[in-house]
Amino acid sequence: MTLQVFGLPVSRGVAIGKAVLVASSRVDVAHYFINADQVESEIERLREGRDVVARELETLKREMPDDAPGELGALLDVHLLLLHDDALTGATKQWIVDRHYNAEWALSAQLEVLARQFDEMEDDYLRERKADVEQVVERLLSVLARGATSAIASGASHGGSGWGGEEPLVLIANDIAPADMLQFKQSVFKGFVTDVGGKTSHTAIVARSMDIPAIVGAREASRLIRQDDWVIIDGDAGVVIVDPSPMVLEEYRFRQRQSELERERLARLRHTPAVTLDGERVELLANIELPQDAPGAFAAGAAGVGLFRSEFLFMNRNGSLPGEDEQFEAYRAAVEAMQGLPVTIRTVDIGADKSLERMSINELRHEHTLNPALGLRAIRWSLSEPSMFRMQLRAILRASAYGPVKLLIPMLAHRGEIRQTLEQVARAKQQLRDAGLPFAEVEVGAMIEVPAAALLMPLFLRHFDFVSIGTNDLIQYTLAIDRADENVSYLYDPWHPAILKLVSDTIAQARLAGKGVSVCGEMAGDSAFTPLLLAMGLRSFSMHPSQIASIKQRILRSDTQKLRLHVHDILSSEDPHARYRELVDGEPSRTPALAA
């Protein structure tokens, strides 16, 4: 029976495929594809794990005290029977053979199938036996995980290429951590859906960088959708269609083909300069997460990298930190891949919804705060660990010897933070001089993503060479909204008059001071905002490489002189979005905008 699940659209397009469920578990489960030549060894892993659990259960039964209830021995017998039942281990083996899942993933997939079967049983006693199956599986997963990395996309070296099937797959999960999303960049998944998340959570941002249809905040998706259900992900409308009719399926396949044709048409703009109708040249930069993203940014026609999110180098490492040489090689790879174009590297922005799994440094103090978005994150964390911070600064500075590099500092808000940061940069430079290691002079910039920073622009412009507006956090902190929380997502409003005023004032003050200014948040890659940002005076946009062509198209059709005439009217309106549509897009407002 066809059903629809609604969520928040975060990455546009249509994906059609069979559902792959990543069920949440009390035990972290590694999910990755194995290669064909690893199937037998993976089955052996499963068999060995089953034998270990069987021995543990038999030992428990053998060593039970004499006064133990008889029901306990009977329960252990039930668990032993379940452990050897073909419906569990035999079917799990089949997932490994057919889908090339690793053993843990195959086991959790089969648990999902069995759990639904138990839920549908009419007999109360039989229905309650689901708990026994879950306990057996949890025990087996624990045994399998003892010698393995316990992260959702562990085994990234397989890159998803091991699966030998031809059917398209879509990923359904309760949630996917941003670091884990990176592991799916080259995977077989055509789209994904999560139960939780907001439009500008970092999971959503990485999804857009992958340029695949995605929906978050779909609430019950992972409960309503079953393994291998045919699913349509409508990333434009935020709708998941489960078990679609042939007519609906054909309609969406037609939309897929139309989307592919549109992408091909936009791709032809790659070598076209981004110049407005009135001759204003605009710089289109790329946001990247890893050095291997840089070639794609260059291929998309980016004029450089406006934001290299260095924190992703620190993730999925079982708590260890990348050393200076490892970081240096990563930054150098990105710089060299851009072939002389500038690369802006942001220092580590750990915290909020981007955490490290198990860090030895200070036991990740920010992880234990009630609201990590307001805790020890970004530059606060870096300044609390000065040796780690200088190590990263040295690595970034060393990379500048191989091409133009800019240094970007996140989440600054206080004069003392500015002073400490610049002192650390100076010390890192001196350490490199003392060691005889080459580096070039780099511009140092500040992220404007805290309202305090936007309101103190004269102070920032005295100390920094350029500023970059992080609209995602600026909106979050200005409107007091957790941007990863779907419960308040309706309040997340980039068109809010306060947001537009802060952005406009920041751009104006930077231009007046002769300092560079860019927008690297999601507003930069949203073509709905392009004319307004141009009218505000913005001439540098940084976005995911997949968004560059559509933004360039909007720029080529814009006349900044005409747009500039409407800025004051839009910014002074109580409903800037409605007024913008009326003045710029030519759409009549449903309600008249009153002057504020």
Active site residues: 202, 520
Distance CA(213)–CA(15), nearest Å, equals: 6
The DSSP bridge partners found for residue 258 are: none
User: Cα torsion at 197, 313, 347, 517 (round to 10°)?
Assistant: -70
Distance CA(127)–CA(129), nearest Å, equals: 5
Residue 457 class from Cβ within 10 Å (0-12 exposed, 13-18 middle, 19+ buried)?
A: buried
Largest pairwise CA distance in the chain:
91
Q: Is residue 309 a known part of a binding site?
A: yes
3-6 sheet: strands from edge to edge: 3-6, 239-242, 230-234, 14-22, 169-173, 189-194, 214-216, 8-11
Q: Is residue 575 a known part of a binding site?
A: no
Q: Is residue 449 a known part of a binding site?
A: yes
Residue 154 contacts by C-beta under 8 Å, 6 or more apart in sequence? 30, 31, 32, 148, 183, 316
Q: Is residue 473 a known part of a binding site?
A: yes
The secondary structure of residue 592, as a DSSP letter, is P
Both tokens assigned to 321 = 């930190």
Q: Is residue 554 a known part of a binding site?
A: no
Among 559, 496, 503, 556, residue whose Cα is nearest residue 533: 503
> One-letter amino acid identity for 119?
D
Among 6, 348, 357, residue whose Cα is nearest residue 152: 357
Among 270, 271, 269, 251, residue whose Cα is nearest residue 259: 251
Instruction: For 262-386, list the strands marked E by DSSP.
Output: 283-288, 305-309, 343-346
Among 474, 454, 19, residue whose Cα is nearest residue 222: 19
- Neighbouring CB atoms inside 10 A of 579's CB total 22
Which positions make up the binding site?
309, 346, 449, 472-473, 483
Which parts are annotated binding residues for Mg(2+)? 449, 473
User: Known binding site for phosphoenolpyruvate: residues?
Assistant: 309, 346, 472-473, 483
